[in-house]
Amino acid sequence: MAKNFIQAPLPFMGQKRRWNAEFKTAILEHFADCHTFVDLFGGSGLLSHFAKAARPDAQVIYNDFDGYTNRLASIPTTNAILAELREVLKNVPELKRIDEPYRSMVFDVIRKYDRRGYVDYITLSASILFSGKYATTLEELQKHTLYNTPRQSDYDAESYLDGLTIVHEDYRLLFNRYHLQPGVCFLIDPPYLSTQATTYSGYWKLRDYLDVLHTLKDTNYFYFTSEKSSIIELCDWLDREYQTGNPFRGATRVTQTTHLNYNAGYLDIMLYKHINKPDRRNAA
């Protein structure tokens, strides 16, 4: 029996683990007639995993936008590296800075595997960098102060991608292939504004973010954003002032508060819309 994951098996910035219950409920209640779910910006694959768990009868297409499947394939190597690092750092107090000679010993281990091939530096970062920081190359990692924040158990992604159709392509090509087909619902979780989007050149700019709105026209969709992007307010203002049409009109809006610390947080937002059976409760 396939395991149902409640979070991605490897670290990933922005994974949608808190949306598990609401997302699955909405799929079952409002998209029962959809037989294909296309995850345009697949990220860690967690939304695709949730969709397949909720609708095992449906085709779920996971667009591996960030090369996450490469990281999953490298889990045996990652576990081997972490096992050696735990041995190297066994006399270093947890959560404390890694000084010499242990720092050099850590890099000796990682360098050995780097010479052999692919190393998942993002996952390694969680065990040797301060919380929230990560590196993507050996050179970048060497610029950081190291901390002993070890993971004590192996990573395991067995059955995580079972049943998914995995593709690696520009979201626009994928959208164009499916948007005229009946019974299709798009899962749309684009990169955050002004962040590095390695699959696309440079930073994810406002124009890129707005271009994604084309995928909302006359389609069934789930769209994820936050109040920090102000995209909903922008679309509402443009529609009111210039009658451009608001792609979120008629969509159901669900919010969650994400806490940064004890006195600061922001709203995460999920919007969904079925073009044949619009649900206008809490409309955006």
- pLDDT at position 41, please? 94
> Would you state the torsion angle of the CA atoms of residues 26, 30, 32, 37, taken in this order, to the nearest 10 degrees?
-60
Answer positive or negative: Cα dihedral of 274, 192, 43, 180. positive
- pLDDT at position 234, please? 87
DSSP-derived pairing of the beta strands 36-39 and 184-188: parallel
d(CA 255, CA 266): 10
- 42 DSSP assignment: -
d(CA 209, CA 268): 17
Answer positive or negative: Cα dihedral of 126, 129, 135, 141. negative
Q: Going by C-beta distance under 8 Å and a sequence separation of 6 or more, which residues neighbour residue 213?
A: 231, 235, 247
d(CA 101, CA 111): 16
Report the alpha-carbon angle 66-69-74, nearest 5.
120
Which portions of the chain are predicted below pLDDT 70?
1-2, 15, 193-203, 259-262, 264-265, 277-284
d(CA 85, CA 38): 39
d(CA 20, CA 236): 28
Domain limits, the chain? 19-67+184-273, 73-141
d(CA 226, CA 231): 8
- pLDDT at position 278, please? 42
19-67+184-273: CATH topology: Rossmann fold (3.40.50)
Alpha helix segments (H runs only) across 19-64:
20-30, 46-54
- pLDDT at position 21, please? 94
Q: What is the CA radius of gyration of the chain?
A: 21
What kind and span of H or E run contains 210? helix 206-211
